[in-house]
């Protein structure tokens, strides 16, 4: 069981490394590191008594918490990227509308001259 928990913590670390650091605040990265560290500590506590069910369950809970935090970050980063993309598209549309409006004004001025 302890070996399986160790593999789980390794997988968590890999998931955390896969997060794009350009899209995540340093405080959030520190929080992910902390929850992974808490999970690793919980696993360390099972090594002395690998048959202690309550410690094993505690380690599993710590891993689940870390996994949930990482997934929440991934989802938040994805949503933020989508919002930024939509914002860029809206700016382009607004720019085009302004251009068209100015072009129309210019045409009216030429006709009025």
pLDDT at residue number 113: 62
pLDDT digits (tens, 9 = 90+) for 39-82: 999 999 888 888 899 999 999 999 999 999 888 888 888 888 89
Asked, for residue 94, whether it belongs to a domain, the answer is no
Asked, for residue 45, whether it belongs to a domain, the answer is yes
pLDDT digits (tens, 9 = 90+) for 97-112: 999 999 998 878 887 7
Rounded mean pLDDT of 2-13? 92
CB neighbourhood size of 77 (10 A): 16
pLDDT higher than 80, residue 25: no
Asked, for residue 44, whether it belongs to a domain, the answer is yes
Q: Are 63 and 8 in contact (CB under 8 A)?
A: yes
Asked, for residue 88, whether it belongs to a domain, the answer is no
Q: Are 101 and 50 in contact (CB under 8 A)?
A: no
Asked, for residue 15, whether it belongs to a domain, the answer is yes
The DSSP 8-state label assigned to residue 21 in this structure reads: G
Report how many domains make up the chain: 1
Asked, for residue 108, whether it belongs to a domain, the answer is no
For 7, the domain range is 2-80
Confidence (pTM):
0.70
Q: CA–CA separation, 36 vs 65, rounded Å?
A: 9
């Amino acid at each position: 069981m302890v070996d399986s928990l160790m593999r789980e913590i390794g997988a968590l670390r890999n998931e955390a490394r896969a997060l794009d650091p350009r899209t995540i605040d340093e405080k959030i990265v520190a929080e992910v590191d902390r929850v992974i560290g808490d999970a690793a500590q919980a696993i360390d506590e099972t090594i002395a008594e690998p048959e202690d069910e309550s410690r094993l369950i505690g380690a599993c809970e710590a891993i689940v918490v870390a996994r949930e935090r990482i997934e929440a970050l991934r989802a938040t980063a994805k949503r933020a990227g989508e919002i930024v993309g939509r914002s860029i598209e809206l700016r382009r549309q607004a720019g085009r509308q302004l251009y068209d409006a100015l072009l129309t004004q210019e045409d009216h001025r030429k006709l009025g001259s």
